[in-house]
Amino acid sequence: MTGSVRVPVVRVRDGRHVESADLAAAEVPLEVRLGGRAFSILMRTPGADRALVAGFLLSERLIRSADDLATIEQCTDLPDEAVEARANTVSVELEPAAAARAAHLLTGRRDVMATAACGVCGRSTLESLRDGLQALPAAATVTASLVAALPRRLRAHQPLFDATGGTHAAGIVDAAGEVLAVAEDVGRHNAVDKAVGSLLLRELLPASHAVLCVSGRTSFEIVQKAWCAGIPIVVSVSAPSSLATSLADEAGITLAGFVRDGGLNIYTHPARIV
């Protein structure tokens, strides 16, 4: 299966040790090149790499829409024999105005490797991630029954989790419940970037009447990524952090947690869930 690797395992059952094999979610570095120069290394599960990079650049505030991307593609300037390197490198060229804006923003960026657990590891201040963002309008509404059903619906789109038990998922649906994008990855933030990046590349942002549903908990970074994408409602099967809650309040985002067993807790801007 794409995105998984077969690994040896010793299974212990009823006091017996049995050598066997298992599937593990793949975690492989992806090099991102910006303007022909190395920009970042993302530890990710291979698949939807262009969407991952697009979503990552949006949340890093280096692009604002698909119009800022001149090209975004698997690297083609490596030798033909460097098959693995080609598969794990994405090259991005920005339009001139976006490139100039990015050059200014990069002066405040720390050069680090982003692990699968990293959401905003490259930024030196949290304030830089809010730059230019306005609180989202309150027009969008969804039903509580739709929100309550989202984790179960998302679960039906997680074949890699079924095979490995080792991935997170993020899904974006519209107000009618139609699935717009779903992504899996070993990293929660990567899964969100893949889902958001998919909409960006299809020129469907801002997603002003959409809901982002994530497996696990909701952190500051996930709310920030939703804010960049213009998504007004974020829900998760587990708890939000305190910083996620305060940022959602500032951003005008409806934040719901513990969405399970037909119930949910709404932490901010509850009027959108009717």
Residues classed as catalytic? 118
Type of residue numbered 163: A
Which uninterrupted H or E stretch holds 65? none
Strand partners, 89: 31
Directed axis angle between helix 220-229 and helix 188-201, to 10°? 0
Type of residue numbered 89: T
Q: Are 224 and 129 in contact (CB under 8 A)?
A: yes
> Within the chain, what is the greatest distance between any pair of CA atoms?
65
Q: Which among 92, 104, 113, 116 has a CA at the least distance from the CA of 43?
A: 116
Please list, in sequence order, all residues whose beta carbon lies within 8 angstroms of the beta carbon of residue 189, skipping any fewer than 6 positions away. Answer: 116, 117, 118, 119, 221, 222, 225
CA 139/CA 157 separation, integer angstroms: 29
- Residue 258: CB atoms within 10 A of its CB come to 17
Please provide the DSSP assignment of 129-159 as one string.
Answer: GTTT--PPPS---B-HHHHHHHHHHHHTT-H
Only one residue has tokens 């905003």, namely: 120
